[in-house]
């Protein structure tokens, strides 16, 4: 093991409980913007949605496994990359897809579906690909990871707040309308402040080891964006759909990843730092790609 594999970030149980609550509120706020019709996109846009889910939960984890074998990062960094690849798309992908002149309804559908599918697929992919990686498998054995326990955790973190938000949006539309904007800003600001605070508490570790993860995250994120785009292109999807799928696969819910790391891996240094840096970098790369696409009108289907 390298030094980064021995690092445990400072994060007490009270902070973890607060972070769990913040992510729950963020997901509740996201669900307020969803409608049951967004889930019907599986019917109205079946091929594009299927390709998006294939890229998100099959191709990206598999390609990430090949990437970590190729570049051979420290074991905890490798496992962090596999965890990020197992997470669902982040909700900021909807804004970026709109900015990129992509198919925004498709992006919303994929975000909604991937969040639900992640309840099972995130623990399954981490257990599968992490177990196939020799050093990653050792870490999983050391922490005695129980995939079923992780399913329950993801269900509580994503599924319950989303169900509550959908209920309010569907049954109490006036209340939902009043809550949408303040919840959106509260969630983003609270999560941002919390991440800044966590970084400040572990700033020495971050400065010491971020150099280990910068190149790995750059390659990994580029792989994710390319996987989504080329999967959609090979499937014959129009350009607007390709952009939506690319951004959806390239923008991951790194907040969920961090919570799982602190819940199940005791803040393991390489995993936490790679996931935190991914959360910063995918916004930079996603906005850059979306801005580049925004200046190029998509070709007609």
- Beta strands of 87-170 (E only): which ranges? none
pLDDT value of residue 1: 45
Residue 34 contacts residue 166 (beta carbons within 8 Å): yes
pLDDT value of residue 63: 97
Q: How large is the angle between the packed helices 13-32 and 173-201, nearest 10 degrees?
A: 150
Tell me how far apart the alpha carbons of residues 265 and 268 are, in angstroms, rounded to a whole number.
6
Residue 52 contacts residue 110 (beta carbons within 8 Å): yes
Q: Which residues pair with 171 in a beta bridge?
A: none
Residue 158 contacts residue 27 (beta carbons within 8 Å): yes
CATH number attached to the domain at 3-294: 1.20.1530.20
Tell me how far apart the alpha carbons of residues 198 and 299 are, in angstroms, rounded to a whole number.
44
Q: Compare 218 and 176 and report the one with higher pLDDT.
A: 218
pTM for the full predicted model: 0.84
Average pLDDT over residues 275-291: 87
Q: Tell me which residue of 237, 229, 214 sits closest to 284, measured CA to CA.
A: 214
pLDDT value of residue 264: 85
Tell me how far apart the alpha carbons of residues 139 and 153 are, in angstroms, rounded to a whole number.
19
39-91: pLDDT as tens digits: 666 666 788 899 999 999 999 999 999 999 999 998 989 999 999 999 988 77
pLDDT value of residue 38: 60
Judged against a pLDDT cut of 90, whether residue 174 lies above it is answered with no
In eight-state DSSP terms, residue 225 is H
Cα separation values, 180 from 12, 167, 175, 176, 183, Å? 31, 13, 9, 6, 5
Percent of the chain with pLDDT over 70: 85
Domain boundaries, the chain: 3-294
Question: 6-10, 43-47, 130-134, 271-275: which has the highest mean pLDDT?
Answer: 130-134
Judged against a pLDDT cut of 80, whether residue 110 lies above it is answered with yes
Q: Tell me which residue of 249, 199, 244 sits closest to 220, measured CA to CA.
A: 249
The rounded mean pLDDT for the chain is 83
Judged against a pLDDT cut of 80, whether residue 145 lies above it is answered with no
């Amino acid at each position: 093991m390298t030094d980064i594999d021995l690092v445990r970030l400072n994060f007490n149980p009270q902070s973890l409980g607060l972070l769990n609550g913040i992510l729950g509120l963020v997901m509740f706020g996201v669900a307020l913007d969803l409608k049951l019709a967004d889930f019907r996109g599986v019917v109205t846009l079946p091929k594009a949605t299927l390709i998006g889910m294939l890229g998100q939960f099959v191709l990206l984890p598999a390609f990430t496994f090949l990437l970590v074998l190729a570049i051979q990062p420290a074991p905890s960094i490798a496992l962090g990359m596999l965890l990020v690849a197992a997470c669902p798309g982040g909700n900021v992908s909807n804004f970026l897809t709109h900015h990129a002149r992509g198919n925004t309804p498709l992006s919303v559908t994929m975000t909604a579906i991937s969040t639900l599918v992640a309840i099972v697929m995130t623990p399954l992919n981490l257990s599968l690909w992490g177990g196939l990686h020799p050093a990653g498998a050792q870490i999983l054995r050391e922490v005695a990871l129980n995939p079923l326990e992780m399913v329950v955790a993801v269900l509580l973190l994503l599924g319950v707040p989303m169900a509550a938000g959908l209920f309010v949006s569907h049954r109490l539309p006036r209340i939902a309308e009043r809550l949408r904007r303040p919840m959106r800003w509260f969630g983003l600001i609270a999560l941002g402040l919390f991440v800044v605070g966590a970084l400040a508490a572990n700033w020495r570790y971050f400065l010491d080891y971020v150099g280990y993860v910068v190149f790995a995250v750059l390659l990994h994120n580029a792989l994710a964006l390319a996987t989504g785009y080329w999967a959609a292109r090979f499937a014959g999807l129009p350009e607007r759909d390709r952009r939506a799928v690319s951004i959806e696969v390239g923008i991951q819910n790194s907040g969920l990843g961090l919570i799982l790391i602190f819940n199940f891996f005791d803040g393991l240094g390489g995993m936490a730092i790679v996931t935190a840096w991914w959360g910063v970098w995918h916004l930079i790369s996603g906005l850059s790609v979306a801005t580049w696409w925004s200046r190029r009108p998509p070709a007609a289907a």
